[in-house]
């Protein structure tokens, strides 16, 4: 008799260790980040104020100033950085599943660049927040559509190499369009703010309405991905194989593209271009919990959020001035990526 | 239930690769599709799986046209073993086998107890127990192929459709995979496979189809179809079919090219 195999549901305490540890790390970093800054607020005071807010009690007058700093300056910024990190990371995980390639990410594929061009255009034309979001989303979607169409034109089977190459072409195309827009912008002030914004920043974006927008986009983008997690796993062996497995691949692909693009575009519209998160965090998450999409998503979301919290903490507390967050993620991300390449090599080469 | 190809023509983008093809796969059959490169063996399998459109004829199972079954219905009927299943991600073997159940889940479904049970049974059937916790990407080619067969079985199909199941496997693994195929057929599954080796068809097949470019295909029991004359004509070189008795007393057949090189037979 063959030895009996174990095919159990991936439930139980073992599957929860990584998400629980990441959640703890996120909360700890948030608390630390709330207490530190230009003006230090002791952790006890942070805890007391949070408690008073939760039970909606009267805030004593001597804590009013700390309350303003915490709840109107630091907390929205911290919440936003978490949401943006989580969104970019989940978006990266979704694109990697769609392209069956661990080396793609929204910034490499030109989705971020496309969304950036849309947002830049909206800024130039003086559009409001809603239009800016719409422009970022539609240009990001346009970038993905362009990649898929060009790849299909070149190669009927849309092989990975062709997809990746067309992604790089589209990426540099949109980067050129972005430069063109900057060149065409005659107003020095608009140009400066555009350039700074494109480098990525939470400094001006950290407001409660923006946190609301980012949460909405995160829910709209992540929930369908979570629901379709088992079908996404079936995609891992190729599109033709997925079709033979009975997957409605057209609908699944559409779902992945729309959700992933929405997540990236909303991040770009709120905080500019922040690279590397969507590439390295899904990798690290995969090393921790394996490639199953249902387990990968929570780990990637929490990990991405945590990564961004740490980057923002560095910017606010450790580094002088207000460095663009895109610069920090790249400086930190590049060496991590080299490490991940080495650690994961035997798993997907 | 029988899988019936009736006067099938199919191809890619307006180019017809296969024409006037007919064959029947019944329960317990191991039907081997043979033919030179480019004869359309893989294209025909893809047509059965709904990956390549038919330009004429029909493919039916149990009296129903496969085209009417829909994507999921067809996937439940035909267990597909693709050529060289691979993925860049280190999925565990148990997860890979479980993906075989996808056709029963729908876009947003999740596997239930019955799905885990079917995957477990399929894995046990192929003796994959010790491999279940290992990453698929770290398995040998032979192990991967057995996992691929288990994955096809997990959907509890009536037929197995296998594209060159032993290509790129070493000698022992070829034997292991074909042994599993024979066992599954003996259990009542209908198997349709493509192969480049007439020896494999002689050893494991019950029926054979010789696909000959530009000429109608030949179909029937292995002993009737895989004769020296038919093989010589199909492959364009002289082939002899031999048989001898092994130490277990069973007669085995095999074939070899018998001309000194490129001589044309028949």
Q: What is the pLDDT of residues A196-255, one digit of tens each?
A: 778 888 888 888 999 999 999 999 999 999 999 999 999 999 888 999 999 988 899 889
Closest-CA distance, A15 to chain B, in angstroms, reads: 14
pTM for the structure as a whole = 0.90
Closest-CA distance, A284 to chain B, in angstroms, reads: 13
Compute the mean pLDDT over every residue in chain B, rounded to the nearest whole number.
91
Judge whether B129 is closer than 8 Å to chain A, CB to CB. yes
Interface contact flag, B107 A255, Cβ < 8 Å: yes
> How many CB pairs below 8 A link A and B?
140
Q: Smallest Cβ distance to A245: which of B99, B126, B128?
A: B99
> Confidence class of residue A1 from pLDDT cuts 50, 70 and 90?
very low
**Contact (Cβ atoms closer than 8 angstroms) between residue B145 and residue B162:** no
Q: Smallest Cβ distance to A244: which of B49, B109, B123?
A: B49
Judge whether B80 is closer than 8 Å to chain A, CB to CB. yes
Give A56-68 pLDDT, tens digit per residue. 888 889 899 999 9
Q: Which residues of A277-307 are buried (b: 16+ CB within 10 A; e: fewer)?
A: bbbbbbbbbbebbbbbbbbbbbbbbbbbbbb
Closest-CA distance, A2 to chain B, in angstroms, reads: 5
Q: Report the distance separating Cα A315 and Cα A310, nearest Å.
A: 9
Instruction: Average the pLDDT over A300-326 and give the result.
Output: 93
Chain B residues with CB under 8 Å of A100 CB are 87-89
Closest-CA distance, B203 to chain A, in angstroms, reads: 25
Residues 6 or more apart in contact with residue B167 via CB below 8 angstroms:
B83, B84, B196
Chain B residues with CB under 8 Å of A102 CB are 88-89
Give A136-150 pLDDT, tens digit per residue. 889 998 998 898 888
Closest-CA distance, B218 to chain A, in angstroms, reads: 27
Which pLDDT score, from 0 to 100, does residue A193 have? 76
Give A65-93 pLDDT, tens digit per residue. 999 999 999 999 999 999 999 999 999 99
Interface contact flag, A348 B120, Cβ < 8 Å: no
Chain B residues with CB under 8 Å of A236 CB are 87-89, 91, 99
Closest-CA distance, B43 to chain A, in angstroms, reads: 13
Contact residues, B window 131-150, toward A, CB-based 8 Å cutoff: 131-133, 135, 137-138
Residue to substitute from B70, B81, B82, B88, interface A, most A β-carbons within 10 A: B88
Residue to substitute from B15, B43, B44, B107, interface A, most A β-carbons within 10 A: B107
Give B34-81 pLDDT, tens digit per residue. 999 888 999 999 999 999 999 999 999 988 999 999 889 999 999 999
Interface contact flag, B107 A228, Cβ < 8 Å: yes
Which pLDDT score, from 0 to 100, does residue B263 have? 45
Judge whether B183 is closer than 8 Å to chain A, CB to CB. no
Q: Report the distance separating Cα A83 and Cα A206, nearest Å.
A: 11
User: In the predicted model, is pLDDT for residue A46 greater than 80?
Assistant: yes
Residues of A at the B interface, defined by Cβ within 8 angstroms: 2-9, 100-102, 156, 224, 227-231, 233-234, 236-238, 240-248, 251-252, 255, 286, 290-292, 294, 346-348
Q: Smallest Cβ distance to B107: which of A251, A290, A346?
A: A251
Interface contact flag, A245 B91, Cβ < 8 Å: no
User: In the predicted model, is pLDDT for residue B266 greater than 60?
Assistant: no
- Structure tokens belonging to residue A208: 């409660």
Chain B residues with CB under 8 Å of A228 CB are 107-108
User: In the predicted model, is pLDDT for residue B130 greater than 90?
Assistant: yes
User: In the predicted model, is pLDDT for residue B200 greater than 70?
Assistant: yes
Chain B residues with CB under 8 Å of A346 CB are 138
Q: Smallest Cβ distance to A243: which of B51, B76, B106?
A: B51
Q: Smallest Cβ distance to A245: which of B89, B103, B108?
A: B103
Lowest mean pLDDT among A46-60, B220-234, B250-264: B250-264
User: In the predicted model, is pLDDT for residue A289 greater than 90?
Assistant: yes
The secondary structure of residue B135, as a DSSP letter, is: B
Residue in A closest to B49 by C-alpha: A244
The secondary structure element, H or E, covering residue B61 is: strand B54-61
User: In the predicted model, is pLDDT for residue A5 greater than 60?
Assistant: no
Interface contact flag, A286 B100, Cβ < 8 Å: no
Interface contact flag, B129 A2, Cβ < 8 Å: yes
Q: Smallest Cβ distance to B135: which of A3, A234, A347?
A: A347
Which pLDDT score, from 0 to 100, does residue B231 have? 94
Residue in A closest to B125 by C-alpha: A2
Interface contact flag, B82 A237, Cβ < 8 Å: yes
Give B172-193 pLDDT, tens digit per residue. 999 999 999 999 999 999 999 9
Which pLDDT score, from 0 to 100, does residue B260 have? 61
Interface contact flag, A241 B82, Cβ < 8 Å: yes
Residue in B closest to A225 by C-alpha: B108
- Structure tokens belonging to residue A313: 């903490």
Q: Closest Cα partner for B27 from B175, B184, B177, B219?
A: B184
Sign of the dihedral through C-alpha A131, A137, A141, A146 = positive
């Amino acid at each position: 008799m063959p030895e009996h195999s174990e095919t159990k549901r991936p439930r139980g305490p073992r599957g929860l260790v990584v998400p629980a540890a990441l959640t703890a790390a996120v909360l700890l970093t948030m608390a630390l980040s709330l207490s530190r800054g230009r003006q230090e607020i002791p952790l006890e005071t942070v805890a007391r104020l949070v408690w008073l807010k939760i039970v909606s009690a009267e805030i004593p007058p001597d804590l009013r100033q700390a309350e303003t700093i915490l709840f109107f300056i630091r907390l929205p910024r911290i919440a936003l950085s978490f949401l943006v990190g989580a969104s970019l990371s989940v978006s990266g995980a979704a694109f990697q599943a769609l392209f069956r390639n661990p080396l793609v990410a929204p910034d490499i594929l030109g989705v971020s660049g496309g969304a950036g061009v849309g947002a830049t255009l909206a800024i130039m034309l003086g559009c409001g927040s809603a239009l800016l979001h719409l422009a970022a989303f539609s240009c990001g979607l346009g970038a993905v559509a362009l990649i898929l169409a060009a790849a299909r034109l070149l190669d009927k089977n849309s092989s990975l190499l062709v997809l990746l190459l067309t992604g790089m072409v589209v990426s540099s195309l949109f980067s050129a369009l972005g430069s063109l827009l900057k060149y065409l912008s005659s107003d020095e002030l608009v140009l400066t703010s555009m350039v700074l914004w494109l480098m990525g920043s939470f400094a001006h974006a950290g407001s409660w309405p923006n946190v609301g927008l980012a949460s909405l986009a995160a829910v709209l983008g992540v929930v369908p991905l979570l629901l379709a997690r088992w079908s996404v796993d079936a995609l891992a062996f190729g599109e033709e194989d997925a079709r033979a497995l009975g997957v409605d691949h057209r609908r699944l692909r559409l779902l992945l593209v729309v959700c992933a693009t929405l997540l990236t575009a909303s991040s770009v519209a709120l905080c500019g271009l922040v690279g590397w998160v969507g590439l390295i965090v899904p990798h690290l998450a995969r090393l921790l919990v394996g490639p199953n999409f249902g387990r990968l998503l929570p780990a990637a979301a929490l990990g991405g959020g945590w990564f961004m919290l740490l980057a923002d903490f560095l910017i606010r507390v450790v580094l002088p001035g207000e460095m663009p967050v895109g610069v920090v993620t790249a400086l930190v991300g590049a060496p991590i990526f080299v490490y991940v390449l080495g650690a994961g090599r035997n798993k997907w080469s | 239930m029988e899988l019936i190809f009736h006067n099938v023509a199919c191809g890619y983008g307006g180019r017809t690769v296969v024409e006037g093809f007919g064959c029947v796969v019944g329960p317990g059959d191991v039907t081997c599709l043979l033919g030179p490169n480019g004869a359309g063996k893989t294209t025909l399998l893809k047509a059965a799986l709904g990956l390549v459109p038919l330009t004429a004829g029909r493919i039916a199972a149990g009296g129903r046209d496969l085209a009417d079954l829909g994507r999921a219905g067809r996937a439940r009927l035909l267990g597909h073993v693709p050529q060289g299943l691979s993925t860049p991600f280190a999925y565990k073997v148990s997860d890979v086998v479980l993906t075989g159940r996808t056709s029963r889940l729908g876009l947003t479904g999740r596997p239930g107890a019955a799905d885990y049970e079917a995957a477990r049974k399929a894995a046990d059937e192929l003796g994959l127990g010790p491999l279940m916790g290992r990453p698929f990407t770290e398995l040998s080619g032979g192990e991967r192929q057995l996992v691929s067969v288990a994955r096809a079985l997990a959907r509890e199909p009536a037929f197995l459709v296998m594209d060159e199941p032993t290509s790129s496997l070493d000698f022992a693994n070829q034997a292991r995979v074909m042994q599993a195929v024979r066992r599954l057929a003996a259990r009542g599954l209908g198997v349709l496979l493509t192969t480049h080796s007439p020896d494999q068809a002689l050893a494991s097949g019950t029926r054979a189809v010789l696909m000959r470019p530009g000429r109608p295909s030949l179909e029937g029991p292995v002993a009737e179809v895989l004769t020296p004359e038919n093989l010589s004509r199909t492959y364009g070189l002289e082939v002899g079919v031999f048989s001898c008795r092994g130490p277990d007393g069973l007669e085995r057949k095999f074939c070899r090219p018998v001309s000194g090189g490129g001589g044309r037979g028949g």
